[in-house]
Structure 1
Amino acid sequence: MTIENSMFNKYSLVKGAARRARQLQSGASPLIVAKSMKACRVAQDEIRQGHVKFVLPERPAEPTLDIPTVH
């Protein structure tokens, strides 16, 4: 699943921005000329402008319970 499919999921956007913000705080160069100096805001703007993309891992299948039936 790509960012285009998950923009409705704010939790995923926050997780992706947080990961990028950590990269910025560790010395990575911003990919845009940002108005803000805050790494989290810069990361969000980079994602919204399409400079940074993240891929969500596929959800694992729901576990199933194998319950024997009693006849």
Structure 2
Amino acid sequence: MTIENAFHNKYSLVKGAARRARQLQSGAVPLIDAKSTKACRVAQDEIRQGHVKFVLMEKVVAPTLDPTV
């Protein structure tokens, strides 16, 4: 599975990697044995290896009131 297939688009990939990097900087344990110590690089490697999943949340739309009623 490629990174492009795992994520909706490149923007989603960047947002996902940034979120995971913040988790790592806050003390989360890396899911892989990475060569790099930089959180951003570790997050990218975790995504590339399929250890981090990306979930699209459903958008809740509030019903609109019909002014003609």
TM-score (norm 1): 0.68
> Cα RMSD between the aligned structures?
2.4
Q: What residue identity is the alignment partner of 2:30?
A: P
Q: What residue identity is the alignment partner of 1:57?
A: M
- Asked if the contact 1:31/1:46 (under 8 Å) is kept, the reply is yes
Question: Hey, what does 1:69 align to over in structure 2?
Answer: none
Q: Which runs of 4+ in 1 moved over 6 A?
A: none
Question: Hey, what does 1:13 align to over in structure 2?
Answer: 13
For CA contacts below 8 A with separation 6 or more, give which structure has more relative contact order. Answer: 1
Give the percent of matched residue pairs that are identical in Structure 1 and Structure 2: 83
User: Matches of 1:59 and 1:9 in 2, distance apart?
Assistant: 17
User: Matches of 2:34 and 2:46 in 1, distance apart?
Assistant: 9
Number of residue equivalences: 60
TM-score (norm 2): 0.70
Gaps of 5+ in 2: 62-69
User: Matches of 1:11 and 1:60 in 2, distance apart?
Assistant: 21
Task: Spell out the pairing of 1:1-71 with structure 2 (5 A cutoff).
Answer: 5=5, 7=7, 9-58=9-58
Gaps of 5+ in 1: 62-71
